[in-house]
Amino acid sequence: MPAYTFPASFEFLDEIRELVAEIARSGGFSEKAIYSLQLASDEAASNIIEHAYEGVSNAFLYMTCDMKGEEIVITMRDTGTPFDFSSVKEPNLTSDLSDRQIGGLGVYLMRKLMDKVNYETTRTGNLLTMTKRRE
Amino acid sequence: MEITNQEFKHCDLIAVKGRVDSATAPQFAKALETANNNARFKIVLDMNDLEYMSSAGFRALLAAQRNCKRYNRGEVVLARVPVRIREALELAGFTELFKTFDDPVTAVGNF
């Protein structure tokens, strides 16, 4: 299972999305699903760069992306500040323009776009695991 | 990402091309702010050549819509939204915050 290391910088989001698209495409996912996987991975990596590594330079994001049978499994590990994933509330998507909260939208999209999103803090850092089944 | 701005009498037509993510969203937000700073609050955003937009781009869209709609001085409308981006905007509950048009000419004529 190959692991990929990316500098924790927004400039590498392109490469992260490309990697996910390549593996998902070879795994037989539809273009619609591939876009969803790219978006979820981008939101996850953006969160890590922006929050877990806030104010930290020379940080890295460790990623795996593999097909396991009918499922794609994407993991991202960071060694930054743990994040209280479960505390992120669903944004109110029906409120007026003035009341719209933009915080939490990335996590909301990840949960909607993927079948499963799991976040845990381990000895080796924070580990995010996202899976999606091929339709 | 690439942005071009064409000024019409009643509105600005801003075309955004390529990919808007956390790396490029600040530049996208700045283009919208620049229009507002020039007292241009009626904006058509042509997304025909937009390949990708993450929530960082949605955040910029929301900020621009808030600023443009203040004092009823204008609004941001979207033209030629690619299907994948439309689906993501729908998921985020954003489609009801923006009028959308199938072609930029009609969108410009709306103002």
Q: Enumerate the domain spans of chain A.
A: 3-133
Q: What residue in B sits closest to A94 (Cα-Cα)?
A: B93
Asked whether the beta carbons of A67 and A131 are under 8 A apart, the reply is: no
Q: What is the pLDDT of residue B58?
A: 96
The CATH number for B99's domain is 3.30.750.24
A105 with B55: Cβ contact below 8 A: yes
Task: Confirm whether B21 is domain-assigned.
Answer: yes
Q: What is the predicted ipTM?
A: 0.95
Residues B32-52 pLDDT 10s: 999 999 999 999 999 999 999
What average pLDDT does this structure show over A121-126? 93
Residues A64-102 pLDDT 10s: 999 999 999 999 999 999 988 778 878 887 778 877 877
Provide the domain count of chain B. Answer: 1
- The amino acid sitting at B91 is L
Secondary structure element (H or E) that encloses residue B14, with its range: strand B12-20
Provide, as residue numbers in chain A, all residues whose Cβ is less than 8 Å from the Cβ of B52: 17, 35, 38-39
Q: What is the pLDDT of residue B101?
A: 98
Strand partners, B42: B75
User: Three-state DSSP class for A43?
Assistant: helix
Q: Which CATH superfamily is domain A3-133 in?
A: Histidine kinase-like ATPase, C-terminal domain (3.30.565.10)
Q: How far is CA B99 from the centre of its chain?
A: 10
